[in-house]
Amino acid sequence: MFALLPSAWMIRLKKVGYWIWLIPVFGIPLSYFWSYGSDSPNAWAWLVIGVVFGIIPLLDFVVGRDPANPDEQTEVPELERQGYYRLLSLATVPLLLGMLVYGGWVIAHYDVWNWLGKLGWILSVGTVMGAIGITVSHELIHKDPALEQNAGGLLLAAVCYAGFKVEHVRGHHVNVSTPEDASSARFGQSLYAFLPHAYKHNFLNAWRLEAERLKRKGLPALHWRNELIWWYAISLAFLIGFSLAFGWIGAVYFLGQSAMAFTLLEIVNYVEHYGLHRRKQENGRYERTTPKHSWNSNFLLTNLFLFHLQRHSDHHAYAKRRYQVLRHFDDSPQLPNGYAGMIVLALFPPLWRAVMDPKVRAYYAGEEHQLTASQLA
């Protein structure tokens, strides 16, 4: 639909279009209000889940792709100078935290929902905190200003996954698409085998990396300058606050939405790197990370929702680039749908492998020396 528009037009369109993240955020209170007087109030609690994972994958095909890249000499410098884009990402923080508190109030005081409605509400809030909150935190923790670093850390603390702030930047980006990376899914590995490994090792790797940083400064791991201690303390403060304000259901709500949010993050990690790997060179080191080592998805709609996260190939090759100037590369491996649709596909391993395994093999055609025996089978 937008594939033939000039790059300058697409930039102007997306400048406004990035505000589409407000739709799932305001979808939370709307689903609550629309359940009033409904014959099926529990169903409304699942509204956001249904839209994100049911309607958006279909709309991705209707809206189509966005192949336009900003011009490196003229448009990129101008886009990077504009504080508008930085303000836009930071604006998500107070609104998401406000939505989180509002969600706790609703689940504690709205007695129309039974356990099914409450479950849908928790998972819906967790979906927004994962899809929007963790996506924005990912953008912010890659940037140098302390304001953005701290804002990104706060969003991660709000979903009990602060280790991502350390492990993702210092671990995942170093080891991506290698056996050393817990966030890079192996060829043939199911989502359900990947998730427990990712949870465990990303947590442990974060503590190891922070301990190594402190050791270089001559400090012990359990030191007040260990940033993980502070971020997890903030998570604990959130839990205590929700418990005091809303009782036991507030604690269940906070922990439940956190689990949904960081699980969504790890499913996206699974999608982003499945089956891809970097060559090991004669000196024992892996080749430099390039746009060929991450799956790219250039569907316009989900890219607007996710602040260009789906232009993941460019992000891994040039991690400091801000979201508004990330580029699409035709020669990167391409996903057949946006992340919402690929997440649904990943939940069904036989379907996932039927779609993705041929794509991995086709991508390495002519370079079969990169493939393992299982990939060649």
| Percentage of the residues of the chain whose pLDDT score is greater than 90 | 79
| Percentage of the residues of the chain whose pLDDT score is greater than 70 | 96
Phi-psi region of 160 (alpha: psi -120 to 50; beta: other; left: phi over 0): left
Highest mean pLDDT among 33-47, 86-100, 319-333: 86-100
Q: Is 371 exposed, middle or buried (0-12, 13-18, 19+ CB in 10 A)?
A: middle
CB 294 within 8 A of CB 276: yes
The chain-wide mean pLDDT, for the chain, equals 92
| Minimum mean pLDDT range among 67-71, 201-205, 230-234, 322-326 | 67-71
pTM for this one? Answer: 0.94
pLDDT at 45: 97
Bridge partners (DSSP) of residue 299 are 65
pLDDT at 113: 95
Domain chopping of the chain, boundaries: 7-376
Please tell me the distance from the alpha carbon of residue 155 to that of residue 176, in angstroms, as a whole number.
23
CB 296 within 8 A of CB 329: yes
Q: Calculate helix-pair angle for 146-157, 227-246, nearest 10 degrees.
A: 50
pLDDT at 362: 87
CA angle 125, 91, 52 (to 5 degrees): 35
Closest CA to 33 of 20, 22, 47: 47
Please tell me the distance from the alpha carbon of residue 143 to that of residue 319, in angstroms, as a whole number.
9
Secondary structure (3-state) at 338: coil
Q: Average pLDDT, stretch 254-269?
A: 97
Secondary structure (3-state) at 10: helix
Closest CA to 337 of 322, 351, 326: 351
73-98 confidence digits (pLDDT tens):
889 999 999 999 999 999 999 999 99
Secondary structure (3-state) at 260: helix
- Confidence at 31, pLDDT banded by 50, 70, 90: very high
Query: Amino acid identity of 160?
Result: C
105-145 confidence digits (pLDDT tens):
999 999 999 999 999 999 999 999 999 999 999 999 999 99
pLDDT at 277: 85
Q: Average pLDDT, stretch 240-253?
A: 98
Label each residue of 267-289 as H, E or C: HHHHHHHCCCCCCECCCCCECCC
The two three-digit tokens of residue 249, written as one number? 């259901």
CB 88 within 8 A of CB 308: no
Please tell me the distance from the alpha carbon of residue 261 to that of residue 115, in angstroms, as a whole number.
20
How many of the other CB atoms lie within 10 Å of CB of 88? Answer: 18
pLDDT at 295: 94
342-363 confidence digits (pLDDT tens):
999 999 999 999 999 999 988 8
In the predicted model, is pLDDT for residue 374 greater than 50? Answer: no
